[in-house]
Amino acid sequence: MPGRVRANGEGSIFPYRNGFAAYVWVEKPDGKRGRKWAYGKTREEVHDKWIKLHGQAKAGPVATRSPTVGEYAGYWLREIVKPNLAPGSYVTYEVVVRLYLVPGLGRKRLDKLRVSDVQTWINEVGRTCQCCAQGKDERRKAAQRRCCALGRCCRDLPSATSVTHLRTVLRTLLSQAITEGLISRNVASLVKLPPVRKRKQKAWTSDEARCFLESARADEDPLYAAYVLVLVLGLRKGEMLGLTWADIDLDSGELTIDRQLQRVGAELLHRETKTAASDATLPLPDICTVALDRRRAAQTAARDAAGPAWHPSDLIFTTRYGRPVEPRNFNRFWDRRCDAAGVRRITVRDARRTCASLLADLDVHPRVAMQILRHAQFAITMEIYTVVSSAATRDALKRLGQALDR
């Protein structure tokens, strides 16, 4: 070809515009063959790149062009996140990609993404009303619209924690791109973010926890045993709702945790716990065994009353027709019981912090409490385990477990 310059053994290297270009035939990720190009101002520079391309081609599939952030995000969700992470994590990442990442950075080429691009995007998200940006008010019925759709911006700005989460998702995505050799550095790690103020943790005193449990027992609340497991054993909501009768051995006084009930989008999943560290076999204090015994009797009565309308399952906590208890509904039942008991409202998650002081009141050894709470370090248990409660609460909690006949 006229004008083509080719030194001996160099192959496909030739002048191009104000420098030189080269290509190597490679196998693409989709299994097809294509050309991978390299450019430079001098023959030596292009030759070095050409040699590296040959090495990459021998090592495995090579992308012939850099995808956009939006294109790579779709691949990342489909091939990396969904098969390997928990369903809840996939849903969280998918929402961030769809609502924030693609609209803001989706058209940027992955290898051309700069720190300034990410910084500008994340700053813009932080000062933008998300009700306006996502059309939340417009999706409401006409009679229920109250802000953005009527021209009255509600200033629904994302919190510093939410903005930090966006950066975390993008950083995770770019880390995978580095692993696959598509980029050389993670620009999301270099952006500046506003400080996140840690939320003050809430917890009940032992007196408040006692009032809560006594109120539920006095009213014969069908979820009394659930409240006991949350407060006395520190079970997470999903772990408690996912318990089956096969997980309970009342004779030996043990409970096994290895599954959870989780709402993921339109599905209610009964699946394994998030991590292996969450799985455990725990000893059951007397208050728990008595409460579970009462729960078994109540569920049997409900099944007999429902008759053909009963939905068989081995779950411990069900509705009056045998269906699983929705996690969000459990939150509502919890709040109502807080009001009925006359105690401060705290979340089910915050109730886990109350668990250690209750275990101390029940004279459970700190090492056993560490196992129950599934803490990695003994110091963490002792930090909240040494809360001193009143003698009246200690005696009342013991009586609460002993007074109920099995």
| Residue 363 covered by a domain | yes
Residue 204's alpha-carbon distances to 34, 99, 213, 335, 354, in angstroms, are 65, 37, 12, 14, 6
Q: Are residues 257 and 239 in the same domain?
A: yes
Among 190, 222, 242, the domain-final residue is 190
Please state which of the ranges 13-22, 25-34, 335-344 shows the lowest mean pLDDT. 25-34
- The rounded distance, in Å, linking the Cα atoms of 272 and 278 is 10
Residue 381 identity? T
Q: Are residues 218 and 347 in the same domain?
A: yes
Q: Are residues 184 and 218 in the same domain?
A: no
Among 131, 157, 190, the domain-final residue is 190
- The rounded distance, in Å, linking the Cα atoms of 89 and 73 is 15
CATH number, domain of 148, equals 1.10.150.130
What number is the average pLDDT over the span 393-405? 54
Among 132, 159, 190, the domain-final residue is 190
Please state which of the ranges 3-7, 104-108, 368-372 shows the lowest mean pLDDT. 3-7
Tokens linked to 405: 């006949």
What number is the average pLDDT over the span 274-296? 81
| Residue 1 covered by a domain | no
What per-residue confidence (pLDDT) applies to 182?
Answer: 81
Percentage of the residues of the chain whose pLDDT score is greater than 90: 41
Domain count, the chain: 3
Q: Are residues 235 and 367 in the same domain?
A: yes
CATH number, domain of 263, equals 1.10.443.10
SS3 call for 156: coil
β-sheet bridge partners, residue 20: 15, 40
CA neighbor of 280 nearest in space, from 263, 303, 255: 255
Give residue 224's domain range: 206-403
- The rounded distance, in Å, linking the Cα atoms of 136 and 155 is 12
| Residue 200 covered by a domain | no
- The rounded distance, in Å, linking the Cα atoms of 271 and 85 is 13
CA neighbor of 286 nearest in space, from 220, 341, 335, 358: 358
Q: Are residues 237 and 332 in the same domain?
A: yes
Q: Are residues 125 and 51 in the same domain?
A: no
Torsion-angle region of 91 (φ positive above 0: left; ψ -120 to 50: alpha; else: beta):
alpha
Q: Are residues 306 and 335 in the same domain?
A: yes
Q: Are residues 20 and 131 in the same domain?
A: no
Torsion of CA 160, 161, 162, 168, to 10 degrees: 110
What number is the average pLDDT over the span 376-398? 55
24 against 62, higher pLDDT: 24
What per-residue confidence (pLDDT) applies to 276?
Answer: 63
| Residue 267 covered by a domain | yes
Q: Are residues 226 and 366 in the same domain?
A: yes
Q: Are residues 257 and 279 in the same domain?
A: yes
| Residue 262 covered by a domain | yes
Q: Which residue has the tokens 């050409």?
A: 50
Please report the DSSP string for 346-392 in residue order. Answer: --HHHHHHHHHHHHHHTT--HHHHHHHHT-SSHHHHHHHHT----HH
Please state which of the ranges 134-148, 179-193, 228-242, 373-387 shows the lowest mean pLDDT. 373-387
Per-residue model confidence as pLDDT tens digits over 66-84: 889 999 999 999 999 999 9
| Residue 331 covered by a domain | yes
Q: Are residues 211 and 184 in the same domain?
A: no
Q: Are residues 288 and 398 in the same domain?
A: yes
| Residue 75 covered by a domain | yes
| Residue 195 covered by a domain | no
